[in-house]
Structure formats: C-alpha cells, structure tokens
Amino acid sequence: MCKFCLKHGANGKWYLNAQNYLKKESEKFEDTREYLEVLWGNLERVYLGKTYGLSINKTLDYRLKMPLLGRVIKAVVHRKLEKEKNPNPLIAESHLGQVIPLEEAKMITTTLADISVKANCPCRFKHRGIKEASCLGFTALAEVLPKLPRYIPENGLEVLDADKIELFLDTMNKKGKVHTIWAGPLPYIAAMCSCEYPQCIGLRTRIDFDVKAVYKGEYIALVEPDKCIGCGKCASRCQFGAMNFAPTLNRPIIDARKCFGCGLCKESCEQQAIKLIDRNEIPITRGMY
Amino acid sequence: MSKTKIKVDYSKCTAPVDCKQCLGVCQPAVLILTFTDKDFYNPKDWKIFPAFPGLCIGCNLCVDKCPENAITVSLK
C-alpha cells in the first residue's frame, strides 16, 4: 500500500475508496470546484511556468542533477505535490496521479464515480497538436469543464453510461494507453486519463526528470515461463522501457524496478502468461512507488 | 556530451496550430505548442517552443520537415 492508501484508503487502496469520489454533499465541494477550475484553466501555465522557483524547461533539468542540492529540491517539490491543506492550484500543489490496471479503471468508472464525461487531452494537444478525447472527468470536473472550451470534444460534452465507458476504456487499452487516476485536491479524485509517454505531462516529468507527479501502480507484471509461447506481442506495448524480449529464452524479461504495473502487457497476451502481482510481495519493489 | 541549441524564427513560423508538422516528427517531443501572453485561452495564437532542449538528440528531422525553414538546430 502506498502512503495515500494508508491515509485515505478504507481498508485497501485509496482510489477504491468511495469517499474520495463523493464530495457533492460536503461543504468543501465549492472549494474543490474552484480549485479544479483554476488548475484545468491554467494547466499549460502550471506545466511550463515558474513552479517552486524553477521552470521545467530551463532550470529543473540540470538543477535536479546537482549532487545533494538536487535531492533537496526534489524533496521540496514532492512535499508540495502532496500538500493537502490550502493547496495552490497554480503551482500544481495537491495534484498527482497514479497508474492503475484496466480492471480497476472499469471498477472505478462503473461503481464509484457518479458522473463521467469525456474531455480532450491537454497534454497531447500541447505536444503533438492533436485533439483526442481520452480523459474522463468525474463529478466536480464535469461541472467545471463546460467553462473551458479547450477541453470540450467535437461531439460536445455528454454524460457517459456504463456501456460506453467500458467500450471507451477497452479501445484506449487496445491502442496501448496507460490508465491513470488524477487527484486534485487530494484526496478527491477528479479525472481518469489514458496517458502515453512522451506526450503526457505527468509521465514526462516522472520518467525524464524523476519527479513523482505520477505514482507507480500497486502491481508489477510477472511472466509465467511455462505458458509463454514467445510471440513477442507484449514487448512492443511497454511504455516504460521495462520489458525486453530475450531471443535466447524466447520469452520477455520484465525489469521489476521499471515496471509501473499498468497491465498493458497482460491485456495483449493471448495465452494469459503474464499476471499482475502485488508490488509489496517482492522485496525489491516493496514501497517503490 | 554535446548539447544542441534550438531556435525558432517566429517571423517565418506564423500559423503553427494549422501546420504542426514539426510536432509530429519530433521523437522525444522536445517541441511543444505553448501559450502566448497575448491570448492565453485561445489555442489559435499559440506558438511552437523548444521546451526541453536537454532531451534533444539533434536528429534534424524538424529542420527538414519545416516548410518555412523556421527552425535551426545547432551544436553548442
């Protein structure tokens, strides 16, 4: 269990706790909406503007590589990302994500989140100039999105029913996208995105700069050597560089240290030779989020 | 390790949102569309900006692709 699970989870994972989706009745709902409006309205500025006195494009890269001081800067950034009291959305305080496998994504959208609407991915438009509706906004975000025309997809905002969401998640998974949940402000979970490295703000900061804007999932993938026939379909799906196809063994090798537990390789395997196991069962990856 | 310096000539690159060919070819996604001070909320006025010069591999694909020859990549 990660630290958010200990803090906000009800006997399990924090993103499977129904309380983190229901803010409608609470007094804090107005604050949540205001926070989301500022955050999503200024997402580009948050990404490239001066954050914590560092700008990601000019200074963050080499400052994080400085010995000792880089570690201090990283610790400060992580503390700000996890700040829960009076978060400032303009510097992305209290906004972070976690990778989840497909089954849990389906569980969240069908049973836990009330309203889900599709929205355009802001990251993909910034990086590639493509407008693709691959994000799902939940209750509070669904009320905020109509005010932000950039995020409204071609067909307009529509509330999706269970079948449509399942179809949407399946197609995203087939395309090879990683499902992530996004909190903001913690522990409220506002969105579920289908991300893709390198054109994702969160995965880019995590993989290229090692800033924990996205946490690793609760699982890691393991290959069962007896079932594997060596077709190699899974190896092309990994976005994190954790999977390597070994011709001598005629099966893939997974680097558990790099694995994010997204389950993309598992979904592509026709022999069911890849299984997801709890990250904490293996000593090396225990607590490595 | 040598580093590259990327320059975008904004007098030549006038309609990046309609063209965006350099965005499609860049493998490490160094170039991104970014807001301008003029109009933050209207993506039509956004411009191409080399956001992560540290990740550039210097393959010159964007230079070859640009129809207006607005991008130059030079070794530092």
> Could B54 and A62 be called an inter-chain contact, meaning their C-beta atoms sit closer than 8 Å?
yes
Which site among A43, A127, A197 would you substitute to test the B interface, given the most B Cβ atoms closer than 10 Å to its Cβ? Answer: A127
A2 vs B10, which has greater pLDDT? Answer: B10
Mean pLDDT of A211-224: 91
Query: What mean pLDDT comes out for the span A103-132?
Result: 88
**Domain residue spans of chain B:** 4-75
Q: How does pLDDT run across A146-198, given as a tens digit for each residue?
A: 888 888 888 888 888 889 999 999 999 999 999 999 987 888 888 999 999 88
User: Could you tell me if A225 and A107 lie in one domain?
Assistant: no
Cβ–Cβ under 8 Å, residues A144 and A119: no
Nearest to A45 among B33, B35, B43 (CB): B35
Asked if A21 and A36 sit in the same domain, the reply is yes
B-interface mutation test, from A125, A200, A209, most B Cβ less than 10 A away: A125
Strands A97-99 and A214-215: parallel
B25 touches chain A (CB under 8 A): no
- Rounded Cα distance between B40 and B28, Å, is 25
Give the phi and the psi of residue B48 in degrees, each rounded to 5.
-80, 135
Q: Quick check: B33 and A129 CB within 8 A?
A: yes
One domain for residues A224 and A184: no
| Predicted local distance difference test score (pLDDT) of residue A99 | 93
- Is the pLDDT higher at A55 or at A138? A138
A138 and A115 share one domain: yes
Query: Closest approach of chain A CAs to the CA of B38, in angstroms?
Result: 14
C-alpha–C-alpha distance, residues B11 and B23, integer Å: 18
DSSP per position, A59-110: IIHHHHTSTTHHHHHHHHHHHHHT--SS--GGGTTT--EEE--HHHHHHIII
**CA nearest to B30 within chain A:** A127
Taking an 8 Å cut-off on Cβ atoms, the answer to whether B54 and A125 are in contact is no
What pLDDT, on the 0 to 100 scale, is given for residue A24? 60
CATH of the domain at A266: 3.30.70.20
Q: Is the peptide bond before A198 cis (omega within 30 degrees of 0)?
A: yes
Does residue A208 share a domain with residue A158?
Answer: yes
Indicate if A156 and A248 belong to the same structural domain.
no
Of A183, A198, A215, the residue that ends a domain is A215
Same structural domain for residues A281 and A156? no
Distance CA(A271)–CA(A231), nearest Å, equals: 10
- At residue A17, the pLDDT reads 85
Distance from CA of B13 to the nearest CA of A (A): 15
Q: What is the pLDDT of residue A252?
A: 92
Average pLDDT over residues A227-252: 90
Same domain, A40 and A61: yes
Range(s) of the domain holding residue A265: 219-285
> What's the domain count of chain A?
2
A108-117, A245-254, B1-10, B44-53 — most confident range: A245-254
Q: Tell whether A223 and A128 lie within a shared domain.
A: no
What are the pLDDT tens digits along chain B (76 aa)? 678 888 889 898 888 888 888 888 988 888 888 877 766 677 777 888 888 888 888 888 989 988 989 899 998 7
Instruction: Give this prediction's pTM.
Output: 0.88
Per the model's pLDDT, the better-predicted residue between A180 and A208 turns out to be A180
Cβ pair B20:A128 closer than 8 A: yes
Average pLDDT rounded to a whole number, residues A114-143: 88
Q: What is the pLDDT of residues A29-78, one digit of tens each?
A: 778 888 888 888 888 777 776 665 566 666 667 777 788 888 888 888 88
- Structure confidence at residue A266 (pLDDT): 92
The closest alpha carbon to B39, from B31, B48, B47, belongs to B47
Nearest CB to A44 within list B16, B20, B34: B34
Same domain flag for A224 and A208? no
Pairing mode, strands A50-51 and A54-55: antiparallel
Say if the Cβ atoms of B17 and A45 lie within 8 Å.
no
Q: Looking at the structure, tell me whether residues A11 and A70 fall in a common domain.
A: yes
- Return the structure tokens found at A188: 């409220």
Q: How far is CA A151 from the centre of its chain?
A: 18
Report the half-sphere exposure of A281 (CA within 13 A, side-chain side).
8
Which chain A residues touch B15 with a CB distance below 8 Å? none
- Give the pLDDT band of residue A223 (cuts 50, 70, 90): very high
Cβ–Cβ below 8 Å for B40 and A45: yes
Q: Which residues of A touch B38 (CB under 8 A)?
A: none
What would the CATH number be for the domain defined by B4-75? 3.30.70.20
Q: Nearest to residue A28, comparing CAs of A155, A225, A188, A141?
A: A188
Average of pLDDT values for A135-142? 88
Domain boundary among A197, A215, A233: A215
Chain A residues in contact with B54 (beta carbon < 8 A): 61-62
- pLDDT at res. A52: 58
Its ipTM equals 0.88
Tell whether A112 and A242 lie within a shared domain. Answer: no
Arithmetic mean of pLDDT over chain A: 86
- Asked whether B53 and B26 are in contact (CB, 8 A), the reply is no
Question: What is the reported pLDDT for A9?
Answer: 81
Which one of A194, A215, A236 terminates a domain?
A: A215
Are A45 and B51 within 8 A, CB to CB? no
**Residue A15 pLDDT > 90, yes or no?**
no
Q: Which alpha helices (H) appear in A129-260, and where do they start and end?
A: 139-144, 162-175, 201-209
Closest CB to A129: pick one of B20, B51, B53. B20
Q: Does B24 touch chain A (CB under 8 A)?
A: yes
